[in-house]
Amino acid sequence: MAKPLDSILSGIQRKKASPTETVGKGGYAVHGGMVQEIETDAQLAGVTKWKTFSEMLLNAAIVGAGVRYFLNLIGKVTWEVRPKDIDDPEAVRLAELVEDILHDMDTPLSRITRRSAMYRFWGFSVQEWTAKIRDDGVIGLSDIEPRPQMTIEKWDIDEFGNILGIVQRAPQDMQERYLPRQKCVYVVDDSLSDSPEGLGLFRHMYPAAKRLADYQKLEYVGFETDLRGIPMLRAPIAQLQELVRKKKITKTQMDEALEGMRNFIKNHLRGKESGILLDSTTYATVDDKQAPSAIPKWSAELMKGGQSSMPELKDAIHREILELARLMGVEHLLLGADSKGSHALAQTKTASFFLIVDSTLHEIKSTYEVDIVEMLFRLNGWDMALMPELIPESVQFRDIEQIAAVLSDLATAGLAPDDPAEDEIRDLLGLSHKPEPTDEEIDAALSARVAPPVDPTKPEEKPEDDDDSKEVKDDGSDDSSGNK
């Protein structure tokens, strides 16, 4: 029988909480600024994990290719600074000023965005901004510089889990440097963890990358130690040595007899001059019959081997590469490598990857609006109500033939010039909006819809007689008058 709730909660003090009061705590613990981790693998604990992830990024080809492909798409995106109110001249002026500041830094905005986007892999990204006084007297940005993950040692966090600052161990002098949160552009992947270090894709990819490295090492060792195909030559060396011992031939004569064989071993690559001439004499029995055997005294052949595990090892390597590609969302890069996959499948997987890029950009957008745009407004004392919005360009797969077909259908759809449906369709295609029509174009379009133009190639139709009482006979007489 189930226990009553009161017996289960015995010893627990119950109290009411105000709706504005925070009662619970986060799921991670920070002691002395150090995040307490639950990792059991020593390679993924503390500062060591950043070195482990760096080696994975450098040595696993599919990881490097996937990350670069992701960052290339992130870096090509253009950012629009949209005014809070396009009808307010001051809002438009401030938006243009913010856009000018973002493109007036020592580091291009595209590179800063690529560095920010690495939070998806590392778990978090920290960059520090430095302000400057511009020639127009406005406080702008001199630069936004990265602070690598492996240099971040401690986190200054209040009792509610808010980050107040970050402690960095500078690699140049190994001194601790405190970075106030207000001076940082900080992005974190907190989807699966509320730790300030987040939980990036590298953590999920590490087991597969480690297995891949082990399999590739085995493949390399197996290939190097495989003796198949190595030339194997036979010669009656013992007999020659016996002749030398009996002084029937000299040591030099024995070496000359074996020189051709030794040269063949050193220069056995196949070419038009490759070849070897051997004595056809076979071994004979030592009895009275002296019967010859089937084994020649001189022979040459390639070493052979039995079945190996190389095909299975190849499949295991391909499986790990495919798993890493899936984790990054770049599985479409491998389509066709094994003569499998279709064009439609590649388009679907590419579109899915572009959605990942878009979601990353929108998370970065939210951070930039707080850590950069809002900060600029506070430093300059501008009206916060007029703070503009950052809009990243949408990253999506565009089929030229499909776009051309849609535009052709729009042209024949007969939409009014000011119909918003056309701009909405253009947004879905990632195209710019159609220019606003003039009053004359609207009037002309409306007139064309009310009175369609007459086709000059068609004969003009005569109006029918409305008098139903008239009846024209075949002989031309008119019944109404009685006269012919």
Statement to judge: residues 189 and 61 lie in one domain:
yes
Phi-psi region of 229 (alpha: psi -120 to 50; beta: other; left: phi over 0): left
Kindly state the average pLDDT of the residues 242-250. Answer: 92
Helices (H) and strands (E) in the chain, counts: 15, 14
Statement to judge: residues 249 and 109 lie in one domain:
no
When the pLDDT of each residue in the chain is averaged and rounded to a whole number, the result is 83
Kindly state the average pLDDT of the residues 157-176. Answer: 90
Contact 333, 69 (CB under 8 A): yes
Contact 324, 207 (CB under 8 A): no
Residues 6+ apart with CB under 8 A from 229: 302, 303
Kindly state the average pLDDT of the residues 156-175. Answer: 90
Statement to judge: residues 76 and 137 lie in one domain:
yes
Statement to judge: residues 112 and 253 lie in one domain:
no
Statement to judge: residues 95 and 240 lie in one domain:
no
Task: Answer yes or no: is 246 within a domain.
Answer: yes
Confidence of residue 40 (pLDDT cuts 50, 70, 90): confident
Confidence of residue 4 (pLDDT cuts 50, 70, 90): low
Statement to judge: residues 287 and 430 lie in one domain:
no
pTM check: above 0.75: no
Task: Answer yes or no: is 267 within a domain.
Answer: yes
Kindly state the average pLDDT of the residues 88-97. Answer: 96
Q: Which domain holds residue 52?
A: 26-208+344-392
Q: Please, where are the H alpha helices in 269-342? A: 310-328
Give the pLDDT of residue 473: 47
Mind listing the pLDDT tens digit for each residue in 265-284? 888 777 777 788 888 888 87
Looking at the 3D structure of the chain, how many domains does it have? Answer: 3
- Range among 205-209, 295-299, 314-318 with highest mean pLDDT value: 205-209
Task: Count Cβ atoms within 10 A of the Cβ of residue 322 and give its class: 0-12 exposed, 13-18 middle, 19 or more buried.
Answer: middle
Residue 377 gets which letter from DSSP? Answer: H
Kindly state the average pLDDT of the residues 461-467. Answer: 55
Residues 6+ apart with CB under 8 A from 62: 321, 324, 325, 330, 334
Kindly state the average pLDDT of the residues 284-291. Answer: 71
